[in-house]
Amino acid sequence: MRWVRSLWARPVSRWQVRACSSVPVLQSPHAHRNQKLAGLHGAMARGDPGMVYDAFLAADDAPLGASDDTMPQLMVLLEHAKRTQRRYAAAASPNDRLVSQELAALLSSAYFWNASLSAARTHRRTLSTALGDVLDLFLAGQRTARLLAAQHTHTFPDTVSYNIVLHAIVRSIPTGPGAARHARQRAPPTIEAVRKDLAATPHSAQRAVQYFDTVWRELCATCAPSHRSWSTRMLLYARMRRADKMRACMQAMVQARQCSTASVNLAMQMHARLYRDMAQLDGVYEAMRYNHLQLEMGHGRGRAAPRTAHVEAVLGVPYVPDDIVPDRGTFLLLIRHHANSGDLDRALQVLHDMLVTPWDTAHGMAPSLEVYHAMFTAFARFGASGGAWHVHTLGELFDGYLRVAPFSASAAHAAAPGPRQLCTVLQALWATSRDPAWVAAQWRRLVQKFAHEAWHGFRVDARVDRKLAVCSAAA
């Protein structure tokens, strides 16, 4: 692993896989070398990380071994990039120097480093280890930017780079017993000091907040925080369960005109968890609906909803900015909390608002499987109580559930309900109807729907079998 140590021992280049299709076809007296360089150019032009990696292996005279692990593989790729760029920079061949110039341009941009940071952030089981990987790559990118500053205008780090680091810090916050221990009064002054402190001291929630503040100060000094940066800060305070800090953050976001619907949704969700005051959430929701209606009627911005005490109690600001309108997350949040609190009528009213709300087209916003699962969870809990929780209402919801189509063919958007969701649906059907024959008929419709090839991952496990046995045994 000598090459791993050498990677951080000296400055490393940074690169972006950018389009190079306009580069002329390379000509070289040495056909084999020309083929390798042409392959490297082709890989960079396609922008395929796997092809670029293989091309580096082919172009390097003394290739380093690959690794199945994400972080070591990134290190190998960086080492190949450094060695290839340095060797070709001093070459006599114009083609070799062209490759060196292209590599220097790639290594001077933010694309590769941001992609590497994203990979390091998500490919570790231990979140504190993932944070260490992200900080290592970030510092390597900064060293590379300084190294190549005389050759090319660098774009790393940019706002996206800092956002990835901030998000990795938030994800690493411990939540178990003793998470608030090991806090120190003095925060690390630089990101490099953050990395050393992370390796030397036990991780804790208070240390994570200090790390976040250090990175945030450098972000503000280097570039400007985006609305995603502010949303990540909101997420930090949500993880810490600090509603007061969230309200103060929202005030700063509104002042900086960086408020977003996602951040408002996060504030509403945290308020619901801490205070369970649905009237105040409804006040924020109605203000967001007012903004949407103003835009729909063509009034444009500048006519924000009237100021209300409910909005100030949840968000810390007297009004919802005029560009904040409900999205899918807003509707799901309100439907879930109203249904879980037993207010079916209000949940159905929000669902109706969702169905009639235009979203990119003249048609309403189609509910997702998550929305229906939230309703089924409430029916599983309250279905036996009667009243508004009627089998006819559940049947209409179930019909809508079976009409849901995948948003796209990708596995993430076409994922069938898992065994846990299937058990919830069965429990809702049984608790509300107490009719084994009707439950069996709805189950057959459900299997016919989600076992279709348009959906991915439908399976029945032992939990579902037991739930089916309970429903059939009652007959």
How does pLDDT run across 165-210, given as a tens digit for each residue? 999 999 998 876 555 555 556 888 999 999 999 888 888 888 999 9
Model confidence at 353, pLDDT cuts 50, 70, 90, reads very high
Beta bridge partners of 364: 358
Q: How far apart are CA 439 and CA 434, in angstroms?
A: 8
The closest of 100, 101, 105, 103 to 77, measured between CA atoms, is 103
Of 180, 169, 174, 242, nearest in space to 206 by CA: 180
CA 437 from chain centre, in angstroms, equals 42
Q: Are 291 and 305 in contact (CB under 8 A)?
A: yes
pTM for this model (two decimals): 0.76
Spatial distance between the Cα atoms of 109 and 107, rounded to a whole number of angstroms:
6
**In the predicted model, what is the mean pLDDT of the chain?**
79
Enumerate the domain spans of the chain: 17-107
Q: Does position 32 have pLDDT exceeding 70, yes or no? A: no
Residues 241/270, Cβ–Cβ less than 8 Å = yes
Interatomic CA distance for residues 397 and 372, integer angstroms: 7
Distances (CA, A) of 8 to 76, 79, 116, 174: 12, 10, 15, 28
Q: And the tokens for 166?
A: 């901030």
Q: Give the model confidence (pLDDT) of 273-308 as tens digits.
A: 888 888 999 999 999 999 888 887 776 555 666 778
- pLDDT beyond 70 at 341: yes
More confident residue, 116 or 382: 382
The structure tokens listed for 13 are 């280049």
Contact 241, 216 (CB under 8 A): no
Side chain identity at residue 290, one-letter code: Y
Residue 355 identity (one-letter amino acid): L
